[in-house]
């Protein structure tokens, strides 16, 4: 199990560990049973996933509300797995340190939500977290050219952010391929939205290191079997 950044590992160590296990499944807790959160996390830990993905939505940047700091804090108490907090919110710069203090190891913000992406990414790195930048399906890669050097991770959205269970948008595949060609292997690439049995192999082949999966895990009773099957498909076997 990969240790939380605050438990003796550095940001560089964490990035290296995640690159080593790629392509890997990153379960999104958005669709888990929050009434039995401790049990859900234990079941996910048993699958040996390397990280958990937490979607924070504010009802403004995206047309949906999810959870915030108290849930992140609770998840942090329940597991040592690295936590990626995906901030789908307005003014994410104002909340970076608070989510780091709540237990986030990776903090991903949206390019569409920040006027100065370099300042925001530097703030994430300054508080010791892995710095991620997300792109919506309609946002071109060119929007990140000003801050490639500060991105530890780039998250390619393959659906419009806000709701789970949407259909995969194939523009994500061409973005992943271009980003991998331009950024090499040092920057983690992640894909989120509509990742399932039918799309996961293409995502991994296009260069995704982390594959955010929600309904393709949580709509099934056997999480271990599902993660193993998705991992098998991601590895092309």
- Mind telling me the catalytic residues? 55, 192
Q: How far is residue 222 from each of residues 31, 76, 197, 217, 227, measured CA to CA in Å?
A: 15, 24, 15, 8, 9
Give me the sheet containing 52-57, strands edge to edge: 24-27, 210-213, 188-192, 153-157, 130-135, 106-110, 83-88, 52-57
Q: Which of 52, 82, 44, 23 lies closest to 200, judged by CA?
A: 23
Q: How far apart are CA 215 and CA 196, in angstroms?
A: 8
Give residues with Cβ within 8 angstroms of 90, minimum separation 6.
Answer: 58, 60, 61, 113
Q: How far apart are CA 39 and CA 54, in angstroms?
A: 16
- CB contact at 8 A, 207 and 197: no
Tally Cβ neighbours within 10 Å of residue 3: 15
Query: Phi and psi of 134, rounded to 5°?
Result: -105, 150
Per the listing, tokens 């955010």 go with 212
């Amino acid at each position: 199990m990969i240790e939380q950044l605050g438990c003796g590992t550095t940001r560089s160590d964490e990035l290296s560990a995640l690159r080593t296990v790629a392509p890997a499944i990153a379960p999104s807790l958005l669709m888990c049973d929050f009434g039995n959160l401790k049990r859900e996390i234990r079941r996910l830990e048993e699958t040996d996933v390397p990280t958990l993905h937490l979607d924070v939505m504010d009802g403004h940047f995206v047309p949906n509300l999810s959870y915030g700091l108290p849930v992140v804090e609770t998840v942090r108490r329940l597991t040592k797995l690295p936590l990626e907090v995906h901030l789908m919110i307005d003014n994410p710069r104002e909340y970076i340190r608070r989510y780091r203090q709540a237990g986030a190891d990776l903090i991903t913000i949206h390019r569409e939500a920040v006027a100065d992406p370099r300042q925001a990414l530097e703030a994430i790195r300054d508080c010791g977290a892995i710095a991620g930048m997300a792109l919506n399906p309609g946002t071109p890669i060119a929007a990140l050219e000003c801050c490639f050097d500060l991105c530890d991770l780039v998250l390619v959205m393959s659906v419009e952010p806000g709701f789970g269970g949407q259909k995969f948008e194939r523009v994500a595949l061409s973005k992943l391929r271009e980003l991998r060609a331009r950024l090499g292997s040092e920057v983690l690439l992640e894909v989120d939205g509509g990742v399932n049995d039918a799309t996961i192999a293409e995502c991994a082949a296009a260069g995704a290191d982390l594959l955010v999966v929600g309904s393709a895990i949580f709509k099934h009773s056997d999480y271990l079997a599902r993660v193993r099957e998705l991992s098998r498909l991601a590895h092309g076997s």
